[in-house]
Amino acid sequence: MDDDLRGKEGVAVDPGNVSVDQIAREARVAGLRAGSTLSLETVERRRLQLWAVMVLLLLVVSIGVALVSTWRPAQGESTPTVLRVAIVLLSVAFGVYAIEKELRLRRLARLLTDQHVLTEALASRLHETSLLLDAGKAMNSVLELPAVLETILRSAMDLLSGASGSIMLLETPNEMVTVLAHGSDVEVGRRSRVGAGIAGRVAATREAVLIEGHADPSEFPGLTEREREASSALSVPLVSHDVLFGVLDVSAGPQRRYTVYDLQIASLFAEQAAGAIANAQLYETERKQVEVAQLAREFGALHEDDAVNA
């Protein structure tokens, strides 16, 4: 996962660029009170106040210039020219002051926006981390493979806000079968060759894929018509301890577009999911072995009874 935090739209935010002390310093220079609550609304109010004073000063200056123009000084008094120059210099000085404050306010607004984006990104990451932990607990709380697969697909769709999804498990080294599907036209039991189509390529390369827009048939040999129509989808390999178990596919709804960050989250989730599948398959194998051993004991006991009776 990248060190940068990313918002829901996938925009990177560097925490080092957002400093509380820097925001406070810019606020003081811009003329905002230290005890005031800093927000974009506060900055806009300060900007309106600044330019309202500027307009008022220009109005006063205009009136002053008009009065000075009609004034005829007595001998020994300041001339209108001197007063005009003084008024103009005062106006220029305040104009420079207003521009400097406006630049500070704009910088403060950018800092507050970055802080808001960072806060949203942190909240989103905390939420995703919580969902990952909850999904891990849920997947490890059951051992039966069907229940584990159901938990995996449901958790993946919740984590990624997916509209549909499916799980394909490796049945032979060269073939996968769809064992579970939600919200899509994918049929359970459909078989796919490793290396063919999107999921097949993911299984062959063990690299997650993000599809944005229509998939390119030249990039994915053996692409089916249904796979070409995916607008925003993720396909991630289910790998645990270098063993491939299958592929997890999740497609977004009409109003959702996945990003590289979503692909990273899905890959982290898939690692946990693959571990849960490995545990479930091991449990299923051991359970079958116990059942076989139990049947063998019962058969042996029955054989002994028949021998005794004979």
| Count, residues in the chain | 310
Most confident of 12-26, 47-61, 153-167: 153-167
Which single residue is written with the structure tokens 């398959």?
281
Nearest to 140 by CA among 24, 20, 276: 276
Least confident of 18-27, 53-62, 96-105, 250-259: 18-27
Indicate the range of 65-74, 88-97, 203-212, 213-222 predicted with least confidence.
65-74
Q: What is the pLDDT of residue 166?
A: 93
Q: How far apart are the C-alpha atoms of 88 and 186, rounded to whole Å?
A: 77
Helix (H, G, I), strand (E, B) or coil at 264: helix
Residue 24 has pLDDT above 60, yes or no: yes
Question: For 173-214, what is each residue's pLDDT tens digit?
Answer: 999 999 999 987 778 888 989 998 889 999 999 999 998 877
Percentage above 70 pLDDT, the chain: 65
**Distance (Å, rounded) from C-alpha 59 to C-alpha 34?**
31
5: confidence class by pLDDT, cuts 50, 70, 90: very low
DSSP for 37-86, written as a single string: PP-HHHHHHHHHHHHHHHHHHHHHHHHHHHHHHH--PPTTSPPHHHHHHH
The burial class, CB within 10 Å (0-12 / 13-18 / 19+), for 173 is exposed
What mean pLDDT value characterizes the chain? 76
Which residue shows structure tokens 């300060």? 46
User: Given this model, what pLDDT does residue 202 score?
Assistant: 93
For 88-92, 213-217, 229-233, 304-308, which range has the lowest pLDDT when averaged over its residues?
304-308
More confident of the two residues 268 and 305: 268
Q: Is the pLDDT of residue 92 over 60?
A: yes
- Which domains, ranges and CATH numbers included, belong to the chain? 14-135 (no CATH), 142-292 (3.30.450.40)
Structure confidence at residue 1 (pLDDT): 42
The per-residue pLDDT for 208 is: 93
pLDDT for 136: 67
pLDDT tens digits for range 271-295: 888 988 988 888 888 877 877 777 7
pLDDT, residue 239, reads: 94
pLDDT at residue 308, rounded to an integer: 61
* pLDDT score recorded for residue 28: 66
Asked if the model's pLDDT at residue 22 lies above 90, the reply is no
Q: Is the pLDDT of residue 301 over 50?
A: yes
| Residue bearing tokens 């599809």 | 211
For the segment 29-65, what is each residue's pLDDT rounded down to a tens digit?
A: 666 665 456 666 777 777 777 777 777 777 777 777 6
- Whether 2 has a pLDDT exceeding 50, the answer reads no
Exposure on the CB side of residue 96, measured as CA atoms within 13 A: 5
